[in-house]
């Protein structure tokens, strides 16, 4: 059953695209025929007259040839074992062969995963780069820069927020906390016909849930930034839903309240997450990684290193202070609802600065 793949590589490039795709479907799904003989014909998917056999593909064709040769040799070995009066004499050799083929299987699985990633990334990179250079239909809204371009510029400039370091994650936290509130405000206007606060902090239009979500999605999807959109979608659904569930649970454990409840939505989990918003997180993951993140990273690239480092830590101090005051105000609001009087001047000051009317306006969807 020896294959002539090595001698016929050039001939295979004469296939038409339709013939190649048709033949490849057989090769993909029919690894063995009815007699159990492995199909060692190489993949011909998308082969045309202009196709080139790259080194790794040539190696894979040679490997299939070798598998065909070894399979033939094994048949003779199986026959000897079957006809032997004492098959135990073949035990050591059979065990060595078995272990060798198992190790080969592991290597091929690793090689398959790596080559699949290389194929996906190469295809995604060229599409993103071509799209980024293409003229937009909208005059004032250009296509986002490709993530590959961002990576290269960060490396060339030795930028303070290169890669996925603490500076970039903190800046994404700040910007995500702001942009998330703005998007929610606009969504509320379209969906309900009026504006309603979606802030999570008492000072400014910021909500750390969106910021944490942006950081979590960026950190979780960053390695897929130069990949196709299927992976960011799936990972975005999982990461976003997990963040939303944990934040809802933590708020209820600490403050005894909820900022959202999906109990009336189909396929919800304890009212904290539901399939509709999980899909939304998946779509947001793709949109963030392929559109918003590269735009944001491109803007961050324009910040000088010295100014950027100082600004990042100053904003961190503001957000920590804002979060602390917000937690105290929420805690006291809950106490007032339970009829607990202010114990001292500090809590009376909090009552004065953050009365129920102000808190209800900031946290319009709060459920106690």
Per-residue pLDDT at 140? 63
C-alpha 231/C-alpha 241 separation (Å) is 16
Query: What percentage of residues in the chain have a pLDDT greater than 90?
Result: 47
Same domain, 257 and 163: yes
To the nearest whole number, what is the mean pLDDT of the chain? 85
Q: pLDDT grade, residue 347 (50/70/90)?
A: very high
Q: pLDDT grade, residue 34 (50/70/90)?
A: low
Of 203 and 259, which is predicted with more confidence? 203
Of 209 and 93, which is predicted with more confidence? 93
21 has a pLDDT exceeding 50: no
Same domain, 213 and 163: yes
pLDDT in tens, 189-246: 888 788 888 889 999 999 998 898 889 889 988 998 999 888 889 888 898 898 889 9
For residue 340, being part of any structural domain is answered with: yes
The answer to whether the CB of 202 falls within 8 A of the CB of 326 is: yes
Of 49 and 261, which is predicted with more confidence? 261
For residue 368, being part of any structural domain is answered with: no
Same domain, 358 and 260: yes
Given the DSSP bridges, would you call strands 273-274 and 268-269 parallel, antiparallel or unpaired? antiparallel
The DSSP 8-state label assigned to residue 32 in this structure reads: B
E strands in the chain: 268-269, 273-274
For residue 273, being part of any structural domain is answered with: yes
Same domain, 162 and 230: yes
Host domain of residue 66 = 5-133
pLDDT in tens, 51-92: 666 788 888 888 888 998 999 899 999 999 999 999 999 999
Does this model's pTM top 0.85? My answer is no
Q: pLDDT grade, residue 109 (50/70/90)?
A: very high
For residue 234, being part of any structural domain is answered with: yes
Per-residue pLDDT at 61? 84
Q: Show which of 133, 157, 178 is a domain's final residue.
A: 133
For residue 313, being part of any structural domain is answered with: yes
For residue 191, being part of any structural domain is answered with: yes
The DSSP 8-state label assigned to residue 223 in this structure reads: G
Same domain, 46 and 172: no
Q: pLDDT grade, residue 257 (50/70/90)?
A: confident
Of 142 and 309, which is predicted with more confidence? 309
Q: Show which of 92, 111, 133 is a domain's final residue.
A: 133
Q: How many domains does the chain have?
A: 2
Per-residue pLDDT at 235? 85
The answer to whether the CB of 215 falls within 8 A of the CB of 176 is: yes
Per-residue pLDDT at 52? 64
100 has a pLDDT exceeding 90: yes
For residue 142, being part of any structural domain is answered with: no
Q: Which among 323, 367, 368, 328 has a CA at the least distance from the CA of 351?
A: 328
Per-residue pLDDT at 324? 96
Same domain, 94 and 180: no
Same domain, 113 and 64: yes
Q: Show which of 133, 163, 180 is a domain's final residue.
A: 133
Same domain, 242 and 166: yes
Same domain, 202 and 106: no
C-alpha 353/C-alpha 250 separation (Å) is 25
HSE-up (13 A, CA, CB side) for residue 119: 11
For residue 138, being part of any structural domain is answered with: no
The answer to whether the CB of 15 falls within 8 A of the CB of 23 is: yes
Same domain, 268 and 169: yes
Per-residue pLDDT at 187? 81
Same domain, 168 and 199: yes
48 has a pLDDT exceeding 90: no
Of 169 and 5, which is predicted with more confidence? 169
Same domain, 118 and 211: no
């Amino acid at each position: 059953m020896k294959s002539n793949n090595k001698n016929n590589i050039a001939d295979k490039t004469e296939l038409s695209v339709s013939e190649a795709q048709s033949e490849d479907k057989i090769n993909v799904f029919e690894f063995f025929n009815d007699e159990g003989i492995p199909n060692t014909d190489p993949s011909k998917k998308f082969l045309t007259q202009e196709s080139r056999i790259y080194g790794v593909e040539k190696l894979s064709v040679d490997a299939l040839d070798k598998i065909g040769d070894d399979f033939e040799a094994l048949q003779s070995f199986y026959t000897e074992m079957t006809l032997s009066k004492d098959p135990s004499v073949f035990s050591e050799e059979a065990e060595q062969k078995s272990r060798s083929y198992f190790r080969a299987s592991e290597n091929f699985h690793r090689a398959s995963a790596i080559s699949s990633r290389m194929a996906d990334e190469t295809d995604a990179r060229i599409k993103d780069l071509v799209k980024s250079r293409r003229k937009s239909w909208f005059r004032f809204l250009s296509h986002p820069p490709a993530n590959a371009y961002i990576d290269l510029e960060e490396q060339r400039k030795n930028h303070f927020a290169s890669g996925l370091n603490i500076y970039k994650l903190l800046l994404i936290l700040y910007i995500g906390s702001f942009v998330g509130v703005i998007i929610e405000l606009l969504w509320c206007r379209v969906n309900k016909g009026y504006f309603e606060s979606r802030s999570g902090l008492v000072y400014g239009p910021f909500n750390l849930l969106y910021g944490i979500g942006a950081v979590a999605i960026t950190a979780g999807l960053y390695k897929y930034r130069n990949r196709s959109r299927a992976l960011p979608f799936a990972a975005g659904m999982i990461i976003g839903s997990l963040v939303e569930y944990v934040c809802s649970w933590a708020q209820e454990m600490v403050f005894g309240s909820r900022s959202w409840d999906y109990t009336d939505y189909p396929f919800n989990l304890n009212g904290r997450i539901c399939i509709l918003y999980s899909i939304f997180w998946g779509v947001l993951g793709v949109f963030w990684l392929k559109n918003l993140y590269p735009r944001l990273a491109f803007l961050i690239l324009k910040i000088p290193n010295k100014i950027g480092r100082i600004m990042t830590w100053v904003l961190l101090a503001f957000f920590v202070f804002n979060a602390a005051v917000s937690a105290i105000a929420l805690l006291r609001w809950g106490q007032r609802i339970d009829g607990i009087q202010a114990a001292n001047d500090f809590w009376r000051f909090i009552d004065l600065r953050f009365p129920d009317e102000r808190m209800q306006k900031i946290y319009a969807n709060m459920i106690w």
